[in-house]
Amino acid sequence: MSVKTYVLLDVFENRATGAASRLRRAAGVTMVERLDGSPNLMLAVTADDRQLLAHLTARAISRIDDVTRSVQLLPVDPKTGT
């Protein structure tokens, strides 16, 4: 079973396009969207387990020098509540 997280990022506005491009090439990243306003980037990261998910998410975010804030959101499974 795979696990997923969504990450909201604020990056310097003039760097968001380049940041999105770098994130799209990161391992585990399955989606990157530019957003209007703050936060200005959203990405989804998927992995086989939570430990790998944490590793891939940290690695993806570390590719971007211009992050001013990040929020990580883990979806809740409606069947189990986790």
DSSP of 2-63, one letter per residue? -EEEEEEEEE-GGGHHHHHHHHHTSTTEEEEEE-SSSS-EEEEEEESSHHHHHHHHHHHHHT
The pLDDT, as a whole number, for residue 64 is 92
Q: Residue 25, Cβ neighbours under 10 Å: how many?
A: 10
The structure's pTM equals 0.89
The pLDDT, as a whole number, for residue 33 is 97
Percentage of the residues of the chain whose pLDDT score is greater than 90: 80
| Domain 3-73 top-level CATH class | alpha beta
Enumerate residues 6+ apart whose C-beta is below 8 A from 37. none
How is the chain split into domains, by residue range? Answer: 3-73
1-16 average pLDDT score: 92
